[in-house]
């Protein structure tokens, strides 16, 4: 295939290759984290919320932000951020999560979680699981609980997919944006030289070595594509990127969901880059993705909604 990038993506990729710590011959977790913090200002604040709070860590529940766009949110989404299980903080995603909350009417909760290599698998998963359990316990006391969803991008999407399976009875929707779904680095998209862009096979191998430095990587808690219980999953909203090294595993996951009878809504952004969703105010496609996902969340929270249906391609 011939990779054709959108204009925003071309400009971003050029700058990323020239200046990013991700392009270093020797990757360093501290440098990657510092770069993310230094670039956070580009995203702006995002829409103002009706109510916003930052909850400190308590017991086994890590710190998390709660974004309420309106007085009575119509749903609640736990959004687990990406970063290869190594870098990233909730603050890097608050602008886009505020935009998603504003567009959907859903409360968005953005947790922090422990990062590798200091805290390898399953530390990050355990932290996210604690936040989901905490929020579900609050929901259980509501007289009329609103729909509840889990979502995330990249490595956060991996964690979200695991937790959606664990809490399938309580989760109304999972929202996955260019998620990591398998540990196989020899798929067609991983081996495609044209797809070695913002996220490369080499960088992904390094992320895996930090998160799971030894032992089996085929555990479904690491590789949700390998789960034997996909039929139990809730309706799924899925964003893929045509240029992504993760594209093959995403396609395989979608096919398995369809075969298992899971309701799926899928949109591909063929000219974008892995990580584009986070880039609020940088990539026009980020706003497009926010609006599309928000529409699907409104469908879930509407009493008269129809089942989610598959739509491929960039609408």
Closest CA to 90 of 128, 60, 117: 128
Which two structure tokens, joined as six digits, stand for 120? 């390898």
Classify residue 173 by its DSSP letter.
E
Q: What is each CA distance from 299 to 180, 194, 251, 269, 309, in whole angstroms?
A: 26, 36, 24, 21, 11
Cβ 181 vs Cβ 249: under 8 Å: yes
Which candidate in 274, 280, 286, 301 is catalytic? Answer: 274
Q: Is 244 in the active site?
A: yes
CA count, 13 A, side-chain hemisphere, 160: 33
Q: Residue 157: name the closest of 61, 46, 254, 26 by CA.
A: 254
Q: Which of 81, 102, 104, 154 is catalytic?
A: 154
| Structure token digits, residue 8 | 């925003």
Q: How far apart are CA 311 and CA 315, in angstroms?
A: 9
Query: Is 154 assigned a catalytic role?
Result: yes
Active-site residue among 92, 244, 251, 268?
244
Q: Which residues are catalytic?
A: 154, 244, 274
């Amino acid at each position: 295939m011939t990779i054709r990038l959108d204009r925003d993506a071309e400009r971003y990729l050029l700058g990323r290759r020239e200046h990013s710590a991700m392009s270093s011959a020797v990757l360093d977790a501290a440098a990657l984290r510092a770069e993310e913090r230094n670039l956070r200002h580009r995203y702006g604040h995002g829409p103002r919320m009706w109510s916003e709070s930052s909850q400190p860590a308590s017991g086994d529940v890590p710190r998390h932000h709660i974004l309420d766009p309106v007085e009575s949110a119509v749903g609640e989404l736990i959004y687990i951020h990406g970063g290869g299980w190594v870098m990233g903080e909730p603050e890097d995603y608050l602008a886009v999560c505020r935009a998603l909350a504003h567009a959907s009417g859903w409360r968005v909760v953005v947790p922090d979680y422990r990062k590798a290599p200091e805290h390898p698998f399953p530390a990050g998963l355990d932290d996210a699981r604690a936040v989901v359990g905490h929020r579900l316990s609050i929901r259980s006391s509501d007289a009329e609980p609103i729909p509840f969803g889990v979502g995330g991008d990249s490595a956060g999407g991996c964690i979200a997919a695991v937790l959606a399976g664990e809490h399938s009875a309580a989760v109304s929707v999972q929202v996955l944006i260019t998620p990591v779904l398998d540990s196989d680095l020899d798929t067609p998209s991983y081996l495609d030289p044209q797809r070695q862009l913002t996220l490369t096979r080499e960088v992904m191998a390094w992320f895996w070595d930090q998160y799971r430095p030894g032992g089996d990587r085929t555990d479904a808690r690491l590789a949700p594509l390998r789960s034997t219980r996909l039929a139990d999953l809730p309706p799924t909203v899925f964003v893929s990127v045509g240029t992504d090294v993760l594209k093959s595993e995403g396609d395989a996951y979608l096919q398995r969901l369809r075969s298992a009878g899971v309701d799926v809504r899928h949109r591909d952004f063929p000219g974008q880059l892995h990580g584009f969703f986070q880039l609020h105010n940088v990539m026009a496609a980020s706003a497009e993705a926010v609006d599309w996902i928000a529409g699907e969340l409104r469908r879930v929270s509407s009493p008269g909604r129809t089942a989610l249906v598959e739509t491929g391609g960039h609408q």
